[in-house]
Amino acid sequence: MPRFFRRLREGVFDEDDLRARTDELAEFVTAAGTAYDVEAGSWVAVGFSNGANIASSLLMRHPQLLSGAVLLAAMVPYRQQPAGVDLTGRWAVVANGQRDPMATPAETTTLVETLRSLGAQVDVLSHEGGHTIDQTQLPRMATVVAEGL
């Protein structure tokens, strides 16, 4: 299936390609901000599955662009925590299923711990499902996007 970046095999990202595609996305967001008069740091990245993976990568590599991210069925984008990243003042919602074969509970815990260790406020919205979006959590996500954590 089409993806935003290459992977080496199921569940293993080509991290060099992920960094390159994330930097391209950051250039696009910066240009869109200029074109539409949107202040850097006010964008919210929202993504499901690989969309969530590149959204979390954008938050980690270019935190100045985002106020936060809503990550649905997200995995850890980088096996080694990025050095020198400060997500203080940024937030993330991580909404993963407890039965997700890709974004497993262990993967979710690692992602949440990584984001928190970088200074982000993180709201975890676990659900009983698998690699899906739990529609009952959408109102909470909308509130977080509107108000921040």
What residues are labeled active site? 49, 100, 131
What's the DSSP call for residue 78? -
**What's the CA angle centered on 146, arms 142 and 149, to 5 degrees?**
90
Q: 37 — alpha (psi -120 to 50), left (phi > 0) or beta?
A: left
DSSP string computed for 5-60: S-EEETTEE-HHHHHHHHHHHHHHHHHHHHHHT--TT-EEEEEETHHHHHHHHHHH
**First-residue to last-residue Cα distance in the chain:** 34
